[in-house]
Each structure stands twice: as C-alpha cells, then as structure tokens.
Amino acid sequence: MKLVRYGDTGTEKPGLMDADGTLRDLSAHVADIAGDTLSDAGLDALRALDPASLPVVQGNPRIGPCVGNIGKFLCIGLNYSDHAAETGLAIPKHPILFFKANSAVVGPNDPVVKPRGSTQTDWEVELGVVIGTAAKYVSEEDALDHVAGYCIVNDVSERHFQTQLTGQWTKGKSCDTFGPTGPWLVTRDEVGDPQSLNMALDVNGKRMQTGKTNTMIFTVAQIISHLSQLMTLHPGDVISTGTPPGVGMGKKPHPVYLNTGDKMELWIDGLGQQTQIVFEDE
C-alpha cells in the first residue's frame, strides 16, 4: 500500500493511493497515518478495505509528510563508503547517529527555506524507514518485522552550521523545512528488499546523486537492531539511513551549495518523487 497524508499544514488527512494512482480518503477509517495505524494489525485492516469504496479526493491538494506525529527522527551519518570518501572521513565502525528536530519535517514538495546566515545549504537523498511496532533489543534477523514501511527523505543540511558551529551535527540538520518526507509511506510488503533500491537527486535538472541501497555500510536491519540496543523504537519513529555520494560539499574542485530558486528533485525506486524549490528566509 501507498499511504498518504494530504491537506494544509497541521490539518492533514489520511489517504491511500490506489493502483491507478488515484488519491482516496481514509478519514472514515483512521484518524491519521500514525501510532496504531502503523502496526501490523492496523495495516492489515487497511489492506482489507476495497480501495474502490473509498471516496476520491478531489482537486490537487498539498501532500504532507507521510507520517503524522513523528516521535523520533533519527539519522545515520556516513552510511555509504563512497560518500564517506568524498567527505574525507573514515568509514565508521558503528552507525553514526544524530537527530533531526521534528520541527524540520515538511511535505515532499514544500519549499526548502535557507535559514538566515546560511552559505552552505546542501542536499541528501535518503531512504527513510518508518517503525510500525515497538523495537527493543531486537536481532538483525527480526529487525525488519518492526518496519511499517519506507519513504524518501531529503536530509537537507547546512554544512557550516553542521561542522563549524561548536556542538553536534544536529545544528546543521534541524533548520525549519530541512526534513522533506514522503510523498508516500510504502508498506514493507510492497517494497520487499530495502537493500536493492536505486536512488537519485537532481539540482536544476543536473544529476548530482546516484546510488543504490546495496552499498550501505550498515543495512536497514543492522541499523534498527543497533538502535534498539540503545533505546526503544516506537511506532511512528523515522530513521533516515544515510546518503550516497554526490552531495554539494563533496564536489570537486570546489563545493557547490544551494541558491535561492534552485530546484531539487529526488527519486527512490517504488517510493515516488519529491520536488522542492529553495527560498531565502526573510
């Protein structure tokens, strides 16, 4: 299934994309794409519905973040060996973890706004993992059973804030609008193997990133298992699993960063597309 949240910011409604690509309303069946809806039982209940019986959503509404009421937004750094190489950093022995503030989360096609003082705003296409059932001390073998589904995340980053302001990476990762998420939450049964997905990102029509999830240093199962040894993962938590090479800070001979008016387009196999225009904060 492809689950969607649509409507104005803060008042999104739950929806489903049917096999023909028609957006249908789920409001009569669930309050949101969040919480218990993401459990195996909750998803099975939605699968039992006949999509043709659901009301068609009229017009062209805004598509919001595909998960409501996100609990934790966890991000994995340097999880592709070729991306680590382009940044000049060593391959990590364990998953590098940082957090993105939930206030950064926006819809997949909402504007990305450069914060005041930003000179190094960068792009990062990533596979997002949405937790469906609580995970604590889980094995790698059982880890994917705790996944509700997958989505696209653009881990937008301000590199000066991230690396030059004293503190953690979170400073450069949590600016408002720096977490476009969606368009759909695609359930794990429809995605299959999360380590076989192609991904790409263009800026102004020029291909910047091309990658495949089979080149991750730590697999999705390894990441979930590792994190679950440290904290309980709850339904609605989102894990952004790292980016392939081609980010702006790694461009040679000089880094390339986003400017006002630039257009980002992102794809991952089976998970849809995002498009964002960059604006300057007032």
Secondary element (H or E) of residue 228: helix 220-230
Q: What is the mean pLDDT of the chain?
A: 96
DSSP β-ladder status, 2-6 and 13-17: antiparallel
Question: What is the model's pLDDT at position 216?
Answer: 96
Could you give the domains of the chain?
2-53 (no CATH), 73-280 (3.90.850.10)
Enter the tokens of residue 200: 């790409």
Please check the confidence at residue 12 and state whether its pLDDT lies above 80: yes
Please check the confidence at residue 166 and state whether its pLDDT lies above 80: no
Q: What separation in angstroms does the CA of 26 have from each of 21, 150, 164, 179, 218?
A: 15, 19, 45, 25, 35
The single residue listed with the structure tokens 């950064």 is: 104
Question: What is the model's pLDDT at position 272?
Answer: 98
Question: What is the model's pLDDT at position 168?
Answer: 79
CB neighbour class for 49 (10 Å; exposed up to 12, middle 13-18, buried from 19)? middle
Q: What separation in angstroms does the CA of 94 have from each of 62, 195, 265?
A: 38, 18, 30
Enter the tokens of residue 208: 């910047």
Average pLDDT score over residue span 26-38: 97
As beta bridge partners, residue 4 has 15
The DSSP letter of residue 214 is G
Task: Kindly indicate the confidence band of residue 151, based on its pLDDT and cuts at 50, 70 and 90.
Answer: very high
CB 148 within 8 A of CB 128: no
Q: Where are the beta strands (DSSP E) in the chain?
A: 2-6, 13-17, 23-25, 73-77, 96-99, 105-106, 112-114, 121-122, 125-131, 147-154, 157-158, 179-180, 185-187, 198-203, 206-212, 238-240, 263-268, 272-280
Q: Is the pTM of this model over 0.85?
A: yes
181-206 per-position pLDDT tens digit: 999 999 999 999 999 999 999 999 99
